[in-house]
């Protein structure tokens, strides 16, 4: 079974929502990956759409890159609406 | 508990001062309830312990299908047959969620399954008992899945992200299992003949103690237990979980109008818990070692399933290769 590829499974739970990662399956090809994902992750109408993606094709950020990747956004507070104080008289904006 | 006596490789707990900077970082994250994810640094012992525990848990789900599979063709009505099949399919699913979580740690599913077949990996002792009458299907759902839920609800907060998320998913599905089991017993007790009522009591008599053994041995000063608690792989001790299970189950038992085979079972007003008798630990260790009533049969059945399904897996690979070749030619 080691010849079977590993696929990551993403499920859209309702129309209008994003696909969300739910787990993985093994399969010999894409079609079987879809069938296995359907049987494994949507037995109780958990989804309206499924994506299966070969795990090896995913590029992920490494955990030790956290500072390099995400820290710069920490000091850009002016990117948040809450940074701009408005007088009460202006009301809701 | 679906994982009993998981070895951590620890003789003595390290203090924060004795840890390497990486280890200390890791432990502080765990202490702060930050989930550990697959790509994060983790101590080797943590990884190995998780692989052992999650694979044991997964094997339990898979072997756990067997005692019930025995009753699919014998279920008394079509409704019961459908419910039983749905429950068994869920268990296959639970096994797969868990194997999938285990693989994020770098373990190979085939290798871990091979260990089960070689007798090197354990699964829960409970599945080495036979299911002799239809009421056993009720008692298994109510008591065995009930005990599993008590353990698994707590494991939703386990420190390893993929394991915790698998547990959340499993817990959602598991309560159907327990309810369908209890309903089988309730129907038999309410509408059944005397003979059927006796079957219910007989099933409870045989499965009560093995269900209590699912939580594993007493919490002693074992470094394995302590280490698992510090790593937050385990969140509550075996004895605490067992007590929780007994306290919530006895009122349900009384509602059925049945008893358990324990003369020492008694409500303790002072403690606010039920007191109960001592488990036959020799039986527990015998079953764990492979000498329970059904150990050999269970492993042999799993091996047979894998062997006899080999051609299907090979055909799938051959088909995929052929399709790929054709697509390449057409391109």
Q: What is the pLDDT of residues A5-39, one digit of tens each?
A: 999 999 999 999 999 999 999 999 999 999 999 99
- Interface touch A43/B89, C-beta < 8 Å: yes
pTM for this prediction: 0.91
Strand, helix or coil for residue B225? helix
How far apart CA B157 and CA B165 sit, in angstroms, is 9
- Interface touch A29/B319, C-beta < 8 Å: yes
Residues of B in contact with A63 (CB under 8 A): 37, 39-41
Whether complex ipTM tops 0.90: no
Among positive and negative, which fits the CA dihedral B221, B222, B223, B224?
negative
- State the pLDDT at residue A65: 62
pLDDT along chain B (331 residues), means of 10: 71 81 92 93 95 96 95 95 96 96 94 94 95 96 96 95 95 92 97 97 98 90 80 92 97 97 97 97 93 94 95 94 92 82
- Test the A interface: residue of B39, B107, B161 with most A CBs within 10 Å: B39
H or E element: which one contains B275? strand B273-275
How far apart CA B113 and CA B192 sit, in angstroms, is 42
Say whether pLDDT at A63 is over 50. yes
**What are the CB-based long-range contacts (under 8 Å, 24+) for B189-195?**
B189/B256, B189/B257, B189/B258
Distance of CA A15 to the CA centre of its chain: 16
- Interface touch B110/A2, C-beta < 8 Å: yes
How far apart CA B200 and CA B142 sit, in angstroms, is 12
- Test the B interface: residue of A40, A59, A62 with most B CBs within 10 Å: A40
- State the pLDDT at residue B1: 46
Q: What is the pLDDT of residues B258-271, one digit of tens each?
A: 999 999 999 999 99
Residues of B in contact with A40 (CB under 8 A): 93, 96-97
Backbone angles phi, psi at B273, to 5 degrees: -140, 165
Which tokens sit at A38? 């359907």
Strand, helix or coil for residue A20? strand
Q: Where are the beta strands (DSSP E) in A1-93?
A: 5-12, 19-27, 49-54
């Amino acid at each position: 079974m080691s010849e079977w590829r590993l696929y990551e499974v993403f499920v859209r739970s309702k129309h209008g929502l994003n696909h969300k990662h739910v787990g993985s399956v093994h399969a010999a090809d894409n079609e079987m990956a879809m069938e296995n994902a359907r049987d494994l992750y949507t037995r109780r109408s958990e989804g309206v759409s499924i994506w299966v993606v070969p795990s090896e094709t995913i590029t992920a950020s490494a955990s030790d890159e956290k500072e390099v990747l995400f820290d710069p956004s920490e000091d850009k507070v002016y990117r948040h609406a809450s940074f701009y104080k408005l007088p009460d008289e202006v009301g809701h904006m | 508990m679906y994982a009993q006596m998981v070895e951590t490789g620890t003789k003595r707990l390290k203090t924060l001062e004795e840890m390497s900077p990486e280890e200390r970082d890791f432990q502080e994250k765990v202490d702060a309830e930050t989930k550990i994810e697959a790509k994060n640094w983790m101590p080797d012992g943590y990884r190995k312990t998780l692989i052992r525990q999650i694979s044991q848990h997964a094997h339990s789900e898979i072997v756990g299908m067997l005692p019930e599979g025995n009753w699919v063709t014998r279920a008394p009505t079509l409704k019961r047959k459908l419910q039983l099949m749905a429950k068994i399919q869920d268990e296959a699913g639970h096994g797969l969620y868990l194997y999938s979580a285990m693989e994020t740690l770098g373990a190979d599913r085939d290798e871990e399954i091979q260990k089960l077949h070689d007798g090197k990996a354990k699964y829960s002792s409970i599945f080495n008992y036979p299911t002799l009458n239809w009421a056993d299907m009720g008692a298994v759902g109510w008591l065995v899945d009930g005990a599993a839920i008590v353990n698994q609800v707590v494991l939703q907060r386990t420190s390893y992200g993929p394991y915790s998320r698998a547990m959340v998913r499993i817990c959602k599905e598991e309560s159907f299992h327990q309810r369908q089991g209890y309903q089988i017993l309730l129907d038999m007790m309410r509408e059944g003949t005397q003979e059927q009522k006796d079957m219910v009591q007989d099933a409870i008599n045989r499965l009560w103690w093995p269900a209590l053994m699912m939580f594993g041995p007493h919490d002693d000063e074992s470094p394995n237990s302590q280490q698992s608690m510090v790593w937050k792989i385990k969140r509550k001790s075996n004895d605490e979980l067992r007590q929780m299970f007994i306290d919530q189950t006895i009122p349900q038992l009384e509602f059925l109008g049945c008893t358990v085979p324990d003369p020492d079972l008694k409500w303790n007003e002072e403690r606010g818990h039920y007191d109960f008798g001592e488990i036959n630990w020799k039986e527990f260790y015998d079953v764990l070692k492979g000498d329970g009533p059904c150990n050999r049969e269970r492993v042999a059945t799993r091996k047979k399933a894998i062997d006899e399904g080999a051609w299907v897996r090979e055909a799938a690979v051959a088909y995929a290769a052929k399709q790929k070749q054709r697509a390449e030619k057409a391109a």
